[in-house]
Chain A
């Protein structure tokens, strides 16, 4: 099917039929919902995020400890899985949400969007710019919101088609394995650099910032903890983590086309955020609800300023937008039952989705491990790689026959 021409305005989108009054109405409903949630935040929520943070740290520590015995397969599996889960929680439920400002209401400087840094190669400031500002101000606006396909994938019919997209399923797999690095460079905005819309100095500063953060991550994850055969464990943990986290198409409603680039900036409250989200086809309601492993990262709400768990929970009053089309009132966006109306979060779907994504991650993990093992050790996958690497280190010989130097591992 040929791509539809890019127009700044899509008369086919029923959301454009909304009048000013209706838009103001949506804004009011969102405000009421916001006030309701914020009026109810308290001790229980504070305890939740603190427990989550404590749980993550304990799990990470414990998994690292278990991995000390990774020459025994069960310990290897357990440790890698634990580290993977810890990573998912840290990135998705803690890092993403805290840096979003969802917990700023506690006024705790140690759990605050301005001070938090997450355990990934992406610098906090860069992510906050690309996500909080770009993505959540121009939600789903093609040409503005780089989260629509991350500049390398076509996930909406409005994106102009290029032959390279034929390979999309393959490099999506690659992206899954190296998602951390994809996120790290995401804010550079290659399209802007290519077209010269970003000053060289700024690009250089951002590259330097990424370099500093990446160096810390590499030193920690691939050098210090890789004193033993940690390359494999790490790859495993990462694959598990990002397998669950990575879903470039999440949140783009199938039946609600993403908006074309149009000025939403400067629009006032009500006309700007909420309406842009509505017009952009934001999927407000919940799909893999209550699943900490996904952080609600695929909810494309313009102002998710409260904790995820609260605006997902039991969804009492997400505004229902009804637009008359041909005289018939219809739900404005999204597939039936998942439109802008209320949706009961389905626990089953959450589990299913996570399972699928995690198995996907695990499959990739094995592919990566096999690949890495093949390249590094020069033997077939499934050999005794961990044991050999372990033996090398415990011999404290700087280099074992056939095994690489740490420098090679990190490249």
Chain B
């Protein structure tokens, strides 16, 4: 009797559950239903950040520096998801993986990581995602532009270049509030001291004006010849992208976009485009038009029930973007939340598993 027949028999015996559900009674991490990990270490960083070292409950499949990982954490019984850049090296000997979280005031998850999470805490791990990585073959001349916690993917790339002995001609312009506020400040300064090919330009915004694309000529005169990697707050990204576009250098710029900042206003929302990932279709929703109605108008066949938020027949997992609850006006930014399409309108562009 092979493994497959054993599995089939197990399923028959445990239907409608899975054998896994019973294995999990003995030891939760034996369940393969979800990919989980355990926090093993926490290390404080400058700039009100903390590096969280996680031991996955499975063999780490590896990642490319610059990529991010969705991490689920249960806070007050509710599972929240956020994406964080992986700051550990891909081939870490212990098979561990780490993220670096900057505390955001009013944030849901970062204060918990920064203040409450202790070693031993269970976390849920999503997929490794992201295309903000170093191209192959490695670029010869590189310009890194980062600000605040946007330094995390850049730091991963610097380490990758260093590991592969390719830190030949790199200029890194980073903005932080003060000298002491810079996440990975010590590490990057030490690299700058030791590696002649890595030049670090720090912009301390408490003392000098904020970084603007016009400063590029001053910090790095040959920036037009370099492959540029940009990671930071939205305003900075918009400004730099505009400048590169104006100079016709768009293909040289690699950008990491953070989650859009959503205001919570009244009214019926901004509307936006919905991508239905399972149906493989798209729909445009005007102001106050629910995802369900918008989808139906576009000819997408969607599950629905009461159409007033009662029955949850219509729920789908929101993969990207944010939705507004048309009844309350509350906006939910979503990383894997289940939303009721009949009462949710897109707030900007969204993607949903339906």
Q: What is the interface of chain A, defined by CB distance below 8 A to chain B?
A: 41-47, 54, 57-58, 61, 101, 104-110, 112-114, 117-119, 128-129, 132-133, 136-137, 213, 216-217, 219-220, 224-225, 268-269, 272-273, 302-303, 305
A-B contact count (CB 8 A): 105
Known: A43-B76, A107-B338. A302 touches B312 (CB 8 A): no
Does B283 count as interface, using CB distance less than 8 angstroms? no
Provide the bound-state CA to CA distance between A53 and B320, in Å. 31
Known: A107-B337, A137-B305. A302 touches B74 (CB 8 A): no
Does B79 count as interface, using CB distance less than 8 angstroms? yes
User: Contact residue range for chain B?
Assistant: 20 to 34
Q: Specify which chain B residues have a CB less than 8 angstroms from the CB of A269 in the assembled complex.
A: 308-309, 327
The 3 closest A-B pairs by CB, nearest first: A46-B77, A133-B305, A117-B16
Provide the bound-state CA to CA distance between A213 and B16, in Å. 9
Q: Are A107 and B12 in contact (CB under 8 A)?
A: no
Q: Specify which chain A residues have a CB less than 8 angstroms from the CB of B25 in the assembled complex.
A: 54, 57-58, 61
Residue of B whose beta carbon sits closest to that of A132: B311
For B308, give its contact among A107, A112, A225, A272 (CB under 8 Å).
A272
Does B78 count as interface, using CB distance less than 8 angstroms? yes
Q: Are A104 and B315 in contact (CB under 8 A)?
A: yes
Provide the bound-state CA to CA distance between A117 and B13, in Å. 15
How near does chain A come to B77, taking the closest CB pair, in angstroms? 3
Q: Specify which chain B residues have a CB less than 8 angstroms from the CB of A106 in the assembled complex.
A: 74, 77-79
What are 24 A-B contacts with C-beta separation under 8 Å? Answer: A41-B76, A42-B78, A43-B77, A44-B77, A101-B311, A101-B315, A104-B312, A105-B78, A106-B79, A107-B79, A107-B80, A107-B337, A113-B312, A119-B15, A119-B16, A128-B311, A132-B305, A132-B306, A133-B305, A133-B313, A136-B311, A137-B306, A219-B15, A224-B12
How near does chain A come to B56, taking the closest CB pair, in angstroms? 18
Does B34 count as interface, using CB distance less than 8 angstroms? yes
Does B21 count as interface, using CB distance less than 8 angstroms? yes
Provide the bound-state CA to CA distance between A110 and B33, in Å. 8
Provide the bound-state CA to CA distance between A109 and B13, in Å. 23
How near does chain B come to A320, taking the closest CB pair, in angstroms? 23
For A132, give its contact among B76, B81, B310 (CB under 8 Å).
B310
How near does chain A come to B211, taking the closest CB pair, in angstroms? 37
Provide the bound-state CA to CA distance between A118 and B15, in Å. 9
Q: Are B311 and A42 in contact (CB under 8 A)?
A: no
Does B58 count as interface, using CB distance less than 8 angstroms? no
Q: Are A216 and B34 in contact (CB under 8 A)?
A: no
Q: Specify which chain B residues have a CB less than 8 angstroms from the CB of A129 in the assembled complex.
A: 305, 313
Q: Are A113 and B315 in contact (CB under 8 A)?
A: yes
Which of B25, B308, B311, B336 has the most CB atoms of chain A within a 10 A radius of its CB? B311
Does B258 count as interface, using CB distance less than 8 angstroms? no
Q: Are B12 and A220 in contact (CB under 8 A)?
A: yes
Q: Specify which chain B residues have a CB less than 8 angstroms from the CB of A302 in the assembled complex.
A: 310
How near does chain A come to B137, taking the closest CB pair, in angstroms? 40
Provide the bound-state CA to CA distance between A224 and B313, in Å. 33
Q: Specify which chain A residues have a CB less than 8 angstroms from the CB of B80 in the assembled complex.
A: 107
Which of B77, B79, B313 has the most CB atoms of chain A within a 10 A radius of its CB? B77
Told that A42-B76, A110-B34, A136-B310 touch, could you supply 12 new A-B pairs with CB distance under 8 A? Answer: A61-B25, A107-B79, A110-B33, A114-B312, A114-B338, A119-B16, A128-B313, A137-B306, A216-B12, A216-B15, A272-B308, A273-B308
Provide the bound-state CA to CA distance between A109 and B337, in Å. 9
Provide the bound-state CA to CA distance between A273 and B22, in Å. 39
Q: Specify which chain B residues have a CB less than 8 angstroms from the CB of A133 in the assembled complex.
A: 305-306, 310-311, 313
How near does chain A come to B258, taking the closest CB pair, in angstroms? 22
Q: Specify which chain A residues have a CB less than 8 angstroms from the CB of B311 in the assembled complex.
A: 101, 128, 132-133, 136-137
Residue of A whose beta carbon sits closest to that of B306: A137
Q: Specify which chain A residues have a CB less than 8 angstroms from the CB of B13 in the assembled complex.
A: 220, 224-225
Q: Are B77 and A45 in contact (CB under 8 A)?
A: yes
Q: Specify which chain B residues have a CB less than 8 angstroms from the CB of A104 in the assembled complex.
A: 312, 315, 338
